[in-house]
Amino acid sequence: GTFVGTPRYASPEQMLREPLTPASEVYAVGLIMWEALVGSPTVGSTDYGFCVEAHINGDPWVLPEDPSYPDGIRRIIEKSLAKQPAERYQSCEELQHALHRFIMTRSTTKG
């Protein structure tokens, strides 16, 4: 019954102490991608209660409006951060393929 993990980077299902799946890891990777792109975490506090509220009851994560964020990466990150596991990439491999397709599409359109 004890929570193990970093609440700021925990999936909604982890906060609810439900079974974890590879989609739970995708959520954590999505949080890290967000932070790398935006420069700040999705959850502005490390307080456990605050994190629970943000991950479980908060609005869906939507990247801030910024023309420098390509639509493709926006879709990938936001899909990775869907509150419902079934709406996310189902594995890090699936996420990797989406990122690879995005990179390849960008490199062929700039070439």
- Average pLDDT, stretch 30-44? 96
CA atoms within 13 A on the CB side of 23: 15
Residue 109 has pLDDT above 90, yes or no: no
CA pair distance 8, 32, nearest whole angstrom: 10
Residue 77 has pLDDT above 70, yes or no: yes
pLDDT at 79: 98
Interacting residues of 36 by C-beta distance below 8 A, sequence separation 6+: none
Residue 69 has pLDDT above 70, yes or no: yes
CA pair distance 109, 34, nearest whole angstrom: 24
58 confidence band (pLDDT: 50, 70, 90): confident
